[in-house]
Structure 1
Amino acid sequence: MKIRSKLAWTYIILLVIGIITISTYSILTIRSFLLDEGAEQFERDALSLALAASSFNEDAQFDQKIQRQAELSQYEIAVYDKDGIRFLQFPEEEFEGEAPYVEASLMAELERQDGEPIVINSDSTQKLIAYVDLGQSENAAQYLRISQDKSEYYAAVASIRHIIYAGMFFSIGAVIIVSFLFARYMASPILQLNAAALDIARGNFDRKIDLKRNDEFGTLADSLNHMAETLRADNEELKKLNEKQSQFFADITHEVRNPLHTIAGALEMLEIEKLQPEKKKQYMNTAQKQIKRVARLFEDIKTLQRYDFDESFLNRQNIDLKSLVDEAQNVFQPIAEKKGLELETNNVSSCIVNADPDKIEQVLDNLISNAIKYTPEGRIEVGLEKKEEVVEVYVQDTGPGIGKEHLDRLFDRFYRTDKARSRDKGGTGLGLSVVKGILNAHQSEIKVESEVGQGSRFYFTLPLVD
Structure 2
Amino acid sequence: MRYLYQQMLTSFIIVMAGFGIVTLAFFKTTTDTVYESTEAQLFGYADSLLSIVENSGGLHKETVAGAERLLKNQGVAFYIFNEDKELTYPNYQEAFTLKLSKDDWEKLENGKNVSIRKEEERKYAFIVIPYVVDGEFLGGIAASEPLSGIEESLTQLKRNFIIAISLSSLGAAALSFIFAKYQVKRINRMRKATHEISEGNFEIQLEDKGKDEFDELSGDFNQMVTNLKASHEEIERQENRRRQFMADAAHEMRTPLTTINGLLEGLEHDMIPEDKKGKSITLMQNETRRLIRLVNENLDYENIRSNQIVLNKQHFNLKDTLDIIGEQLEQKAADSGNIIKLAVDPRLKVYADYDRFIQIVVNIVQNAIQFTKDGEITLSATENDTAVRLEIQDTGIGMNETELKNIWERYYKADPSRKNTKYGESGLGLAIVQQLMTLHGATIEVTSESNQGTTFILQFPKKPSETEKS
- What TM bracket, shorter-length normalisation? 0.7 to 0.9
Q: CA separation of 1:422/1:54 partners in 2, compared to 1, >3 Å: closer, same or farther?
A: same
Amino acid at match of 2:332: I
1:332 is aligned, of 329, 332, 336, to: 329
Partner of 1:92: none
Say whether the 8 Å CA contact 2:408–2:430 is kept in structure 1. yes
CA distance in 1, matches of 2:101, 2:211: 75
Residues 215-274 of structure 1: CA deviation (Å, up to 9, x unaligned): 333332222222222222232222222211221122112212222222222222222258
1:372 is aligned, of 363, 369, 374, to: 369
1:348 is aligned, of 341, 344, 351, to: 344
Deviation at 1:352, TM superposition (A): 0.9
Secondary structure of the structure 1 residue equivalent to 2:420: helix
Q: CA separation of 1:130/1:328 partners in 2, compared to 1, >3 Å: closer, same or farther?
A: closer
Amino acid at match of 2:426: T
Partner of 1:26: 26
What pairs with 1:16-415 in structure 2 (closer than 5 Å)?
Answer: 16-45=16-45, 48=49, 54-55=59-60, 74-75=75-76, 88-89=91-92, 98=94, 120-125=116-121, 126-128=123-125, 149-273=146-270, 276-310=273-307, 312-337=309-334, 339=335, 341-350=337-346, 351-376=348-373, 378-389=374-385, 390-415=387-412
Amino acid at match of 2:427: G
Say whether the 8 Å CA contact 1:128–1:149 is kept in structure 2. yes
Amino acid at match of 2:446: V
CA distance in 2, matches of 1:343, 1:115: 127
Deviation at 1:296, TM superposition (A): 0.8
Say whether the 8 Å CA contact 1:78–1:88 is kept in structure 2. no
Q: Which one has a bigger Cα radius of gyration?
A: 1
1:418 aligns with 2:430: no
Say whether the 8 Å CA contact 1:85–1:101 is kept in structure 2. no
Residues 385-415 of structure 1: CA deviation (Å, up to 9, x unaligned): 3143444433433433333321111121101
Partner of 1:434: 432
Partner of 2:468: none
Deviation at 1:353, TM superposition (A): 0.7
Say whether the 8 Å CA contact 1:54–1:134 is kept in structure 2. no
CA distance in 2, matches of 1:404, 1:69: 113
CA RMSD, Structure 1 to Structure 2 (Å): 4.1
Using the TM superposition, name which of 405-414 and 179-188 deviates more: 179-188
Matched residues, percent identical?
Answer: 24
Amino acid at match of 2:341: T
CA distance in 2, matches of 1:102, 1:361: 118
Q: CA separation of 1:371/1:26 partners in 2, compared to 1, >3 Å: closer, same or farther?
A: closer
Q: CA separation of 1:185/1:393 partners in 2, compared to 1, >3 Å: closer, same or farther?
A: same
Amino acid at match of 2:75: Q
Deviation at 1:187, TM superposition (A): 4.5
Deviation at 1:86, TM superposition (A): 9.1
Secondary structure of the structure 2 residue equivalent to 1:228: helix
Secondary structure of the structure 1 residue equivalent to 2:419: helix
Q: CA separation of 1:287/1:77 partners in 2, compared to 1, >3 Å: closer, same or farther?
A: same
Could you tell me which runs of 5 or more consecutive residues in structure 2 were left unpaired when the two chains were aligned.
134-138, 465-470
Amino acid at match of 1:254: H
Say whether the 8 Å CA contact 2:336–2:369 is kept in structure 1. no
Q: CA separation of 1:405/1:21 partners in 2, compared to 1, >3 Å: closer, same or farther?
A: closer
Could you tell me which runs of 5 or more consecutive residues in structure 1 were left unpaired when the two chains were aligned.
90-94, 137-141
Say whether the 8 Å CA contact 2:406–2:412 is kept in structure 1. yes
Deviation at 1:292, TM superposition (A): 0.5
Using the TM superposition, name which of 187-196 and 245-254 deviates more: 187-196
Using the TM superposition, name which of 173-182 and 120-129 deviates more: 120-129
CA distance in 1, matches of 2:153, 2:419: 108
Amino acid at match of 2:39: A
Q: CA separation of 1:311/1:280 partners in 2, compared to 1, >3 Å: closer, same or farther?
A: closer
Deviation at 1:464, TM superposition (A): 5.1
CA distance in 2, matches of 1:67, 1:341: 138
Say whether the 8 Å CA contact 2:389–2:458 is kept in structure 1. yes
CA distance in 1, matches of 2:196, 2:384: 53
CA distance in 2, matches of 1:123, 1:18: 28
Deviation at 1:46, TM superposition (A): 5.6
CA distance in 1, matches of 2:367, 2:80: 135
Secondary structure of the structure 2 residue equivalent to 1:38: helix
Q: CA separation of 1:8/1:213 partners in 2, compared to 1, >3 Å: closer, same or farther?
A: farther
CA distance in 1, matches of 2:196, 2:433: 43
Secondary structure of the structure 2 residue equivalent to 1:212: coil
Amino acid at match of 1:283: S
Partner of 1:447: 445
